[in-house]
Amino acid sequence: MAFLFGKLDVYQKAVVDTIKEHRAQTISYLKASGLPLALLINFDSASLQIRRFEN
């Protein structure tokens, strides 16, 4: 699921661990949106995982 907050894309997942396809998808969406920043947030791991991507 993706949310746009003006200058920030937020992508949330609920998986045990993010894989390279999740990261690639986030980078692709970030480039397509033209926004400067995206966060990939995973809620289903042992601890909250947040990855930051810059365009």
- pLDDT band (50, 70, 90) for residue 53: very high
Predicted TM-score (pTM) of the model is 0.76
Q: Is 40 exposed, middle or buried (0-12, 13-18, 19+ CB in 10 A)?
A: buried
Of the pLDDT bands very low, low, confident and very high (cuts 50, 70, 90), residue 12 is confident
Q: Is 29 or 9 the better-scoring residue by pLDDT?
A: 29
Cα–Cα distance for residue pair 44/5, rounded to 1 Å = 23
pLDDT of residue 1: 56
Helix (H) or strand (E) holding 21: helix 20-33
